[in-house]
Amino acid sequence: MSEIGHGGKPIVERILDPATAKEKIRGLKQMPVREQIAVEVIDIAYGFFSPLEGFMKKADVESVCKKMRLTDGTVWSIPIVFDISDQELSDYGIKEGDSLLLTYKDAPIAIFEIEEIFTYNKQEMAKDVYGTTEEKHPGVKRTYQYKDKFLGGKITMVSKPIINEPFTPFFLTPLEMRKKIKEKGWVRTVAHQTRNVPHTGHEWLMKGAWLSAYGELPVEKMLVGVVVNAIIGEKRPGDYIDEAIVLCHDMLRKAGYFREDVHLTSISLWDMRYAGPREAVFHAALRANLGITHHMFGRDHAGVGTYYDPYDAHRIFDQFSEKDLNIRPIRVLEWWYCPVCAEVTYMGLCGHKDKVQNFSGTLIRSIIQDGVKPPRLIFRPEVFDLILECAEKYGQGDAFVTQKYLENRNPVFTFPKL
């Protein structure tokens, strides 16, 4: 029986077996791609981006930008595009109808069937997707950096990527994740999107969302799981290093702050666009493809600066029906520390607003940077110790991304040479 993904379409892995791949790539023109593109090839091929079968053609890009839907009506909020320069088009002699062999770091990764070569106004794309044309917005900056033409067409992976340690056990494809969820006996799952190491505010966001998702289900056996899905992709200096994010989330379960039978840490490969509400919709589609039934959205989900209202990413879901998105949003306010309640508590419950101490991301980073162990009510000691361990082991002494880390880190994935 097929697994149904986002948009009601079956999830189909677009991957050739090695013998067929060897045969099919013979004689194809080769073109190297950068990491941004390689990541999206993986996502398309495994079905993380289902129902997309390849990079978007112009009509889909336009429809996504203007209507937040693909041309077939499926909700989709962020264009998935393959950009190319005129020089490259001429150097590789690319024309519509060609099939190219994409390579990454000298290894073949996918066959790309070029169906359309097109242009698109990048300013217009930025304005529609990000609500701004300011280049200081990282998503806009990425858009402006696209080369001047785009290629649309289907992708078929010719070789599976190797996900390197320490990420190996956390990378589950949509079909693998669905299998895992079944094995665990979960009838509902709630996604926690993250790019942070977890403090107790995050822990309670997850616990609160788990309680919300649990609802009326019987409790003899736990039937709901929290699926932490860390976004692993392009990093900016000052971000937490990926290794610390993933391993520290997993530590919450290992150290017993979540039971073994209610928690799973996983990763998805994706370059954050910081598109706020539109990115929230994208995250919902991505997690629906993973077979997750609920998605927690907190304050300022996937936002940056002051481009979006803190709860725009909640309100955007008002325009979609259950048929549009087969994942249910769980909208949450903030968790904070209240010295009167003497606990981490919820904005929607605590009546001491003038006394509360917020989990400011900046303050938490400042504490970690100083290496001063915070109270366990703020940071679980096992998590804090692991951050420092990850800093030594993976971050050249720093828990945050530095130029040195970017230059020396072990790649998240590699492709084998055929």
**Complex with another protein: residue 32 or 374, whichever CB lies closer:** 374
Instruction: Measure the CA–CA gap between 293 and 224, rounded to whole angstroms.
Output: 10
**Complex with another protein: residue 133 or 402, whichever CB lies closer:** 402
- Would you tell me which residues interact with another protein (CB under 8 A)? 237-238, 306, 337, 339, 357-360, 362-363, 365-367, 369-375, 377-378, 400, 402
CB 374 within 8 A of CB 194: no
At closest approach, how far in Å is the CB of 126 from another protein? 23
**Complex with another protein: residue 46 or 274, whichever CB lies closer:** 274
Output the six-digit token pair for 122. Answer: 């990048």
Closest CA to 290 of 261, 266, 260, 259: 266
> Before 51, cis peptide (omega within 30)?
yes
DSSP three-state, residue 7? helix
Instruction: Measure the CA–CA gap between 37 and 310, rounded to whole angstroms.
Output: 30
**Complex with another protein: residue 169 or 397, whichever CB lies closer:** 397
Task: Please spell the DSSP secondary structure of 163-203, one letter per residue.
Answer: EPTTSGGGB--HHHHHHHHHHHT-SEEEEEEESS---HHHH
Q: With residue 117 as reference, give the H or E element that holds it.
A: strand 107-118
> Before 166, cis peptide (omega within 30)?
yes
**Complex with another protein: residue 87 or 360, whichever CB lies closer:** 360
**Complex with another protein: residue 358 or 410, whichever CB lies closer:** 358
At closest approach, how far in Å is the CB of 363 from another protein? 6
Q: List active site positions.
A: 195-196
Output the six-digit token pair for 90. Answer: 């001429």
Closest CA to 49 of 79, 85, 29: 79
Calculate the alpha carbon distances from 43 to 14, 108, 295, 378 in Å.
10, 16, 19, 35
At closest approach, how far in Å is the CB of 129 from another protein? 24
At closest approach, how far in Å is the CB of 238 from another protein? 7
At closest approach, how far in Å is the CB of 374 from another protein? 5
At closest approach, how far in Å is the CB of 198 from another protein? 15
Instruction: Measure the CA–CA gap between 309 and 131, rounded to whole angstroms.
Output: 12
Instruction: Measure the CA–CA gap between 1 and 10, rounded to whole angstroms.
Output: 10
**DSSP designation for 409:** S
